Chain A
Amino acid sequence: MSVTSLSVVSARKLGLTFETGDGPVHALSNVDLEVSKGDFVSFIGPSGCGKTTFLRVIADLEKNTDGEITVNGMTPEEARKSRSYGYVFQAPALYPWRTIEKNIALPLEIMGHSAAERGKRIERTLDLVNLSGFGKKYPWQLSGGMQQRASIARALAFDADLLLMDEPFGALDEIVRDHLNEQLLKLWARTEKTICFVTHSIPEAVYLSTRIVVMSPRPGRVTDIIESTLPKERPLEIRETPEFLEIAHRVREGLRAGHSYEE
């Protein structure tokens, strides 16, 4: 029982088929996965491998058509309704008519926190993502990287233990991305959240994760799950060590085994 109580996401033979005009599309098939508390799990694979779809099933933004999945021991719908995860999208999706502060306050308002409580949490989360002092700005006055950090702050504000991140840094340039990856690791260490992170960058997946889930398309499925041997403390330079390159190599092998490099 102690193992299941630590399980945050548990999927068994999970499948999802979209019915389209051109016949059924198997976005996910036979996915088995356990994510435990405190894990940093990356999902990597080419477009159409179902990595985003899987994240959306966890978030109850899509419904699985086969198999079972539990989130914090509940169905995804119950988990969503008890606000057990924060979701970070590919784009910041900040509301332009709200300041950064007010954007972070949005989930808190919906969940009925008092104004004083909101103020405290805004300050704390802005500090977590190094945006203190930018609370009064409007999103369109900030750079893309700062906007995405604000959207992470918004996902952290209501203290959900699970953070679902869907290619959050995909639209940013590599220098900004390196910086944000480093900050994300620090934030993960400080908050002890469980993070599910979708990416299409091999170095990003290897650098961040405790486990890397390699997926491949048609039908979307898991081809390999790699446990990282890297220490928890990871400076950016770790990416030049043989250990890092070895894991990256295994990810590439996994992708090749799933025919991800074929047209």
Chain B
Amino acid sequence: MRRLKRNWQPLLAGLLTALAAARLPLTLPDAPAPIEGGMTIALIILAAALNVVLTLGDRGHAMRAGVLFVGAHIPAAMLLSRLDGNEGQMSASFFLMIAASWLLAWGTVSELAQIEPRSSTARSFLRLLIPAIFGIWILILWEAVTRGAGIPFILLPPPSAIGARIAGSVSVLWADVQQTIFKAVLFGYVVGCASGFAVAILADRFAFLRRGLIPIGNMVSALPIIGVAPIMVMWFGFDWQSKAAVVIIMTFFPMLVNTVAGLGVAGAMERDLMRSYASDYWQTLIKLRLPAAMPFIFNALKINSTLALIGAIVAEFFGTPIVGMGFRISTEIGRMNVDMVWAEIAVAALIGSVFYGVVALVERATTFWHPSNRGG
């Protein structure tokens, strides 16, 4: 039973491959470029699966993962490379083999996840490798299904086409990134977060601001950005300034609310301690309450890093000069250039992740003392 549990992916992969081999060839009867060598691919998959199940049954995770890795990726590469000219002309046999390779890749990841490396470099390598295999397989399946089954380009372009579009439009994408990210997002993010923080300090100092502003802040943060963006365009013009204004509105209140909450978390005993030193308001703020508030402030910085990106891109839908990520998305979708839209989405996702990642790294360095970060 335990053996079956450990080997179910290669066993199932073997079964699917046997089915696929029985239903060769890989292409439909009237495909323009019929494929030879389907049997070779099937044999590679079978060999890897049987190898793992029979001879490597009780070996270590790394060994099994290695065989599974090779057994999954060589057939997958061979299958994908034969797609050219056969879009929409692949048979059930093709998809069965893709599924079988995917099962082996699944097996690879589950073996890798059980490795407990001793050295820290090996650990960080594994931490990158596992999600990388995961991500690559999303792309492989996406590619195989969209091209193999001939899904219309408009609905979902294959990743290879998106990649080619990114490579071919670097200058356009770069101009868009400069306009949207380096001007609207960064400016708006810095000003929005800084002013939210400054107002939080004022609200902390003056009770009337705290009582009056926070409820209104909650209301304003519920404002739909779709409604605010056109008004900002009316006020600040078509260029990036109006987008920065939208970003400021979106990032201001999360920072305000989080900072005010964070300033309240320092304990009574710690405050009494400061009082016993006859510490003044600013000393207590800087030496006790702000450090204690850091986890909250970083929470706001992380939330805002994604909000700022969304805000700037959506705001560009409402009028912009002829550059910018949101502008590109809204015009290219109108011209049915879906691959360009996806290219912008991919770039936005990448930048958003890097942005978030940088903030998270700074957070770990700054709030290393917090119980959730200790000992890491």
Q: Contact residues of A with B, CB < 8 Å?
A: 59-61, 80-83, 85-87, 89-91, 93, 95-97, 106-107, 109-111, 138, 140, 158
Query: For the complex, is B119 an interface residue (Cβ under 8 Å from A)?
Result: no
Query: For the complex, is B231 an interface residue (Cβ under 8 Å from A)?
Result: no
* B-side contacts of A95, CB under 8 Å: 270, 287-288, 291
Contacts A93-B267, A96-B369 known; A111 to B277 CB distance under 8 Å? Answer: yes
- B269-A91 in contact (CB<8A): yes
Candidates B278, B288, B369, B370; contact of A80 at CB < 8 Å: B278
Query: For the complex, is B218 an interface residue (Cβ under 8 Å from A)?
Result: no
A87 to B275, CA, bound (A): 10
Given A80-B275, A86-B276, A95-B291, 11 more contacts at CB 8 Å?
A: A61-B275, A81-B278, A83-B278, A89-B269, A93-B267, A93-B269, A97-B291, A110-B274, A138-B369, A140-B369, A140-B371
Enumerate 5 A-B pairs (CB-CB under 8 Å) in ascending A order. Answer: A61-B272, A93-B269, A95-B291, A97-B369, A106-B277
A78 to B323, CA, bound (A): 65
Interface string of B279-317 (1 = CB under 8 A from A): 100010001100100100000000000000000000000
Among A86, A109, A158, the most chain B Cβ lie within 10 Å of the Cβ of: A109
Query: For the complex, is B164 an interface residue (Cβ under 8 Å from A)?
Result: no
* B-side contacts of A91, CB under 8 Å: 269
Candidates A106, A111, A140; contact of B374 at CB < 8 Å: A140
- B369-A85 in contact (CB<8A): no
In angstroms, how far is the closest chain A Cβ from the Cβ of B362? 15
Query: For the complex, is B345 an interface residue (Cβ under 8 Å from A)?
Result: no
Determine the main DSSP class of B at the interface with A: helix
* B-side contacts of A106, CB under 8 Å: 277, 287
A87 to B278, CA, bound (A): 12
Number of interface residues of B (CB under 8 A): 21
Q: Contact residues of B with A, CB < 8 Å?
A: 267, 269-270, 272-279, 283, 287-288, 291, 294, 367, 369-371, 374
Contacts A93-B267, A96-B369 known; A87 to B279 CB distance under 8 Å? Answer: no
A83 to B278, CA, bound (A): 7
A96 to B292, CA, bound (A): 9
- A107-B277 in contact (CB<8A): yes
A41 to B24, CA, bound (A): 95
- A93-B287 in contact (CB<8A): no
Candidates A87, A96, A109, A138; contact of B276 at CB < 8 Å: A87
- B270-A59 in contact (CB<8A): no
In angstroms, how far is the closest chain B Cβ from the Cβ of A263? 29
* B-side contacts of A83, CB under 8 Å: 277-278
Chain B residue nearest in CB terms to A61: B272
Among B269, B276, B278, B367, the most chain A Cβ lie within 10 Å of the Cβ of: B276
Contacts A96-B370, A140-B374 known; A109 to B287 CB distance under 8 Å? Answer: yes
Chain B residue nearest in CB terms to A90: B269
* B-side contacts of A96, CB under 8 Å: 369-370
- B270-A93 in contact (CB<8A): yes
A109 to B278, CA, bound (A): 12
Candidates A97, A110, A140; contact of B277 at CB < 8 Å: A110
Contacts A95-B270, A138-B369 known; A61 to B276 CB distance under 8 Å? Answer: yes
Chain A residue nearest in CB terms to B287: A106
A83 to B269, CA, bound (A): 18
In angstroms, how far is the closest chain B Cβ from the Cβ of A108? 9
A82 to B374, CA, bound (A): 38
* B-side contacts of A60, CB under 8 Å: 275
* A-side contacts of B374, CB under 8 Å: 140
A61 to B269, CA, bound (A): 11
Chain B residue nearest in CB terms to A80: B278
- B283-A87 in contact (CB<8A): no
Candidates B273, B278, B367; contact of A93 at CB < 8 Å: B273
In angstroms, how far is the closest chain B Cβ from the Cβ of A16? 16
* B-side contacts of A138, CB under 8 Å: 369
Among B267, B278, B294, B371, the most chain A Cβ lie within 10 Å of the Cβ of: B278
- B283-A110 in contact (CB<8A): yes
In angstroms, how far is the closest chain A Cβ from the Cβ of B294? 8
In angstroms, how far is the closest chain B Cβ from the Cβ of A101? 15
In angstroms, how far is the closest chain B Cβ from the Cβ of A157? 10
In angstroms, how far is the closest chain A Cβ from the Cβ of B371? 8
5 closest residue pairs by CB, A with B:
A96-B369, A97-B369, A87-B276, A93-B269, A81-B278
Candidates B267, B279, B369; contact of A110 at CB < 8 Å: B279
A80 to B276, CA, bound (A): 6
In angstroms, how far is the closest chain B Cβ from the Cβ of A109? 7
A81 to B287, CA, bound (A): 18
